[in-house]
Every structure is written in C-alpha cells, then in structure tokens.
Amino acid sequence: MLPPFVWSEDCLRHEPEAEVWVGVRTPATEVPARAVAIHGSLVAAGAPEVAATAHDDSALLAVHDPALVEFLRTTWDEWSAAALPSDRIVPYVFARPELTGGREPATPAAVWARPGLFAYDTMTAIGPGTWEAARAAVDVALTAVDLVAGGEPLTYACTRPPGHHVTRSLYGGSCYLNNSAIAAAALLGRFGGPVAVVDVDAHHGNGTQELFLGRSDVLTASVHVDPGAGWFPHFLGFATENDDANLNQPLAPGTRDVGWLAAVERAAAFAAPAKALVVALGVDAATGDPESPLEVSPAGYREAGRILGDLGLPTVVVQEGGYDLATIGPLVVETLTGLAR
C-alpha cells in the first residue's frame, strides 16, 4: 500500500524555460512535466491523492528571511512592468558581502539589479508563475506535515519547484523556498526535537545544512556526488563540514547501489534519535539522470526506502530533484514502496 500523496496544480505554474549556464541560455531541466510524470505514476500505482490546503506564512518565515520572501512575491510584477529585454529574471550583478565590507547593501534603484541581492547562480530563472508555484509547494509540504501530525505514519509531498539548495536569504540550484527545511521546522513544532532531514538527492542539500547549522534540534544528513569532483553546489557538501548534527557523505561519480546504500545506512543511523523524519527525495542519483553520475538503480531506491522506513519514524517525503522524465515517476513509486509498512 502506497502512502497518501499531497498535490497542488499550482506547482505547475513555474515555467523557467531556460537556465543560463556558463553564460549560455540552455533548456530548463526543472520543468512542470516532472511533477505531471510523478503524479501519473502515483495515481497509476493507486496512491491516494490529497489536495494541498492553504497555510499562513508562519512556518515559511521561521525558515526564510522576510526580505527573500517579499522579493519572490513581488519581483515578477516589477520586472514585467519595467519592460526588460528578458522574459525571465536572471541576475547579472551579485551583492557579495565582501563588496560592501559586510555592510548591508543598498536596495538597487534598478529593478534588474535586485535579483543580485538574493540569487547565487544564473540558472534559477524567475517567470510569471514562479512565486505561485514555489508558495504552493510550501503548502504541499505543510499539508503533508499535517497528515503525519494527525497520525498518518508516512506521506509524500509532490513539491515543485524543489527547495533544498535555498538558504535563509539566498535562492539557487533551481530552488526558491526550502520545502524540506520548512517541513522539518513544522515537524519540530508538532513532535518536538530532534527531527532529522535525510537528503538523498544527488546534489548536496546545502541550503538545509546552512539553515540548521549549529542547531542540535535538527539533524541534517546528505548523501550526494562529491562536489570536489566538480559537481554542484561546488562550494560545499564536504565531510569537513560535519559535526554532531550534520553528516555529509560525498560520493565519487559512478558509486552505484552498494556504495550509495552504505551511505544511506549511515545517514539513517545518524537520524535514528529523531522524533520525526523528512526524506528530501531527489531521484537524480539514478542511472540515466542527466544531472548526476551516481548510477543508482530503481531497486537501489526501493532499498533506500526500506532502510529509512525501518527507522519507524513519522515520515514526510518531500520531492527534490530528478530530471529524467521517463523514470522519475517509477523511481518515486519504488522509494515509497520501500518506505511503506
């Protein structure tokens, strides 16, 4: 039996169209069809669908800087009113703290300079429905938390756009609001601490790590391709960042099931003291995914689900990455099948 899944059509409203990578406009990988594919597989597998309900901003603002939230809420209207030559918001100048000696940078008079206060890459475009989709994904995650708080042992939040690369104030990595971190903060309020986030997306969950750094009430564990081998998010995700509440396990390209599952086992053991669990489920570690070289099989994902399900914790699964449209849905179903008891 598959667990209930939470869905919002509004998550389809974000259409980035393109990612600017090394200065080139390339086709977007984080597309609405991803969520449509997952939805189709879940329905076909008989998982019960639950509509997301509206939640106020309290859990969102417990995690993110109000200035980031306000920027995301308003920036498209400002950009479109300014009649700029691009149909998507992409930063061109970045307000690095060293630029202003650590002092608060000015809010630029130019609309086209404002994204540089909050963006850390050029790949994470904002368009007409981006805010609505990102905010809907938060409602999806919080509705999944409500179900678990109400006694459901396991729920799946079909969140899109993804979130685990977003810090308190900065968005990037195809992410705008950190759905997994918001779910963890909400679970903390319902179950008490510690809660754990186990992130099996192929990329380091840098936003979640930084959000909860130095806190013992949220345990963060990430299993990902080694940034030292040249992979996003490049600047972090190393084992040197580990402490009592944070476990990074960077893996070599081509690690495949056995090595990846051993890392998932260690992440699960790290999360064992928690009272509730968030699984940040990126399925981009799978063979055939265009954005990662880890080469995990569908059976590997099912086994990862079984390992995490064996913790016996109230669990919210939050969708992160996964970019192969032909396999993303079946991989989610495999993982949930492994998790279900």
Report d(CA 109, CA 82) in Å as an integer.
12
- Within 279-318, which residues bind Zn ion (CB under 5 A)? 282, 284
Does 321 help bind ligand SP5 (rule: CB under 6 A)?
yes
Sheet order of strands, 246-251 included: 49-51, 5-7, 154-157, 315-319, 276-281, 195-199, 218-225, 246-251
Does 29 help bind ligand SP5 (rule: CB under 6 A)?
yes
Other beta carbons within 10 Å of 150: 9
Report d(CA 309, CA 336) in Å as an integer.
9
Residue 316 main-chain phi, psi, to 5 deg: -110, 120
Specify the pairing of strand 154-157 against strand 5-7.
parallel
Report d(CA 129, CA 102) in Å as an integer.
33
Asked if omega into 108 is within 30° of 0 (cis), the reply is no
Q: How far is the CB of 290 from ligand SP5 (least distance, A)?
A: 7
| Residue from 115, 161, 293, 321 binding Zn ion (CB under 5 A) | 321
Does 175 help bind ligand SP5 (rule: CB under 6 A)?
yes
Instruction: Draw the binding track, 134-173, toward ligand SP5 (x: CB under 6 A; -: no contact).
Output: ----------------------------x--x-------x
| Residue from 10, 241, 284, 334 binding ligand SP5 (CB under 6 A) | 284
Does 32 help bind ligand SP5 (rule: CB under 6 A)?
no
Residue 165 annotated in active site: yes
β-partners of residue 208 are: none
Specify the pairing of strand 246-251 against strand 24-27.
unpaired
Does 330 help bind ligand SP5 (rule: CB under 6 A)?
no
The closest of 311, 300, 206 to 267, measured between CA atoms, is 311
User: Of the listed 64, 165, 203, 204, which one is catalytic?
Assistant: 165
Does 201 help bind ligand SP5 (rule: CB under 6 A)?
yes
- Within 205-264, which residues bind ligand SP5 (CB under 6 A)? 232
| Residue from 201, 210, 303, 334 binding Zn ion (CB under 5 A) | 201
**Segment lying near Zn ion (by CB under 5 A), choices 54-62, 90-98, 246-254, 278-286:** 278-286
| Residue from 39, 55, 114, 203 binding ligand SP5 (CB under 6 A) | 203
With contact defined as beta carbons under 8 Å apart, do 246 and 223 qualify? no
Q: Which residues are catalytic?
A: 165
**Which parts of this chain interact with ligand SP5 (CB under 6 A)?**
19, 21, 26-27, 29, 123, 162, 165, 173-175, 201, 203, 232, 282, 284, 291, 320-321
